[in-house]
Structure 1
Amino acid sequence: MDIRFSKYTSFGNTFIIVDETRTPLAGDEQRAGFARWALNGDFGIGGTDNVLYLSEATGPADYVFRIFEVDGSETLSCGNGLLCTAAVLRREHGGDQWRVLTELPTGRPRPVQIGAEGDGRRTWVDMGETRPVPAELINRNGPPPADGIDRISGLDVPGVGELGGYLTFSGEPHLALFRGHGLPDELAEKLFIDARGAIGRPDGDDITESVALAHHIGTHVNRAYRDLFPQGVHLNFARVEGRRVEYRTWERAINCETLACGSGTVAMAHVGRELGLLPEGEIEFWPHRCRWYQPGAALTVTSTESGYVVTGQPRLVCVGVVPETSVVPETSVPPDLARVPEPRQPSIR
Structure 2
Amino acid sequence: MKFTKMQAAGNDYVYMDALQAPIPDPEGLARRISDRHFGVGSDGLILICPPSDPGKADFRMRMFNADGSEAEMCGNGIRCVGKYVYDNGHTDRERVRIETLAGILALRLHVSDGKVETVTVDMGEPRLAPEAVPVSDSGADFINRPLRVQGRVWNVTAVSMGNPHAVIFTHGIDKLDLPGIGPQFEHHPLFPRRTNTEFVEVVDRRNLRMRVWERGAGETLACGTGACASAVAAVLTGNADRKVRVELLGGGLDIEWDAATNHVFMTGGAVTVFTGEYLG
The answer to whether TM tops 0.5 is: yes
Q: Matched residues in 2 for 1:169 and 1:153: separation?
A: 18
Query: Would you say the 8 A contact 2:133–2:159 is kept in 1?
Result: no
CA distance in 2, matches of 1:258, 1:55: 25
Shift of 1:26: 4.8
Question: SS at the partner of 1:64?
Answer: strand
Where does 1:245-284 land on structure 2 (aligned, <5 Å)? 245-254=208-217, 256-280=218-242, 282-284=243-245
8 A Cα contact 2:64 2:71, kept in partner: yes
Partner-residue secondary structure (3-state), 1:114: strand
Aligned position for 1:301: 255
Q: Tell me the SS of whatever aligns to 1:231.
A: coil
Task: Provide the residue aligned with 1:45 in structure 2.
Answer: 40
Q: What is the distance in 2 between the residues matched to 1:8 and 1:149?
A: 35
- One-letter identity of the residue aligned with 1:7: K
2:186 to 222, 233, 253: 222
Structure 1 match to 2:135: 138
Q: Tell me what 1:126 maps to.
A: 122
In structure 2, what is the equivalent of residue 20 of structure 1? 18
Closer/same/farther in 2, CA of residues 315 and 136 from structure 1, 3 Å limit: closer
Distance in 2 separating the partners of 1:244 and 1:136: 25
How far apart are 1:169 and its partner, in Å? 0.2
Shift of 1:283: 1.1
- Measure, in 2, the Cα distance between the counterparts of 1:136 and 1:153: 17
* CA distance in structure 2 between the partners assigned to 1:62 and 1:246 by the alignment: 34
Following TM superposition, by how much is the alpha carbon of 1:90 offset from its aligned partner in structure 2, in angstroms?
A: 1.6
Instruction: Flag structure 1 segments of 5+ consecutive residues without an equivalent.
Output: 104-108, 180-187, 193-209, 291-296, 328-349
Cα RMSD, aligned residues only? 1.9
**Structure 1 residues 206-221: aligned runs within 5 Å:** 210=175, 213-221=177-185
Contact 1:155-1:221 at 8 Å conserved across structures: no
Letter of the structure 2 residue corresponding to residue 310 of structure 1: M
Hey, what's the Cα distance between the residues in 1 that align with 2:220 and 2:271? Answer: 17
Residues in 2 aligned to 1:42 and 1:217: alpha-carbon distance in whole angstroms: 25
Q: Which runs of 5+ in 2 are unaligned?
A: none
Higher normalized helix content (fraction of residues): 1
Asked whether the 8 Å contact 1:25–1:31 carries over to 2, the reply is no
Aligned residues: 269
Q: Distance in 1 between matches of 2:61 and 2:23?
A: 16
Q: Give, as a single letter, the amino acid of the residue that structure 1 aligns with 2:245.
A: E
2:78 aligned with 1:82, yes or no?
Answer: yes
Aligned to 1:311: 267
Identity across aligned pairs (percent)? 25
* 1:217 match: secondary structure: helix
- Aligned partner of 2:26 in structure 1 is 31
One-letter identity of the residue aligned with 1:49: D
Rg bigger for which structure? 1
Question: More strand by proportion, 1 or 2?
Answer: 2
Task: Give the aligned residue type for 1:51.
Answer: L
Within 2, Cα distance between the matches of 1:283 and 1:69? 27
Distance in 2 separating the partners of 1:234 and 1:88: 26
SS across alignment from 1:317: strand
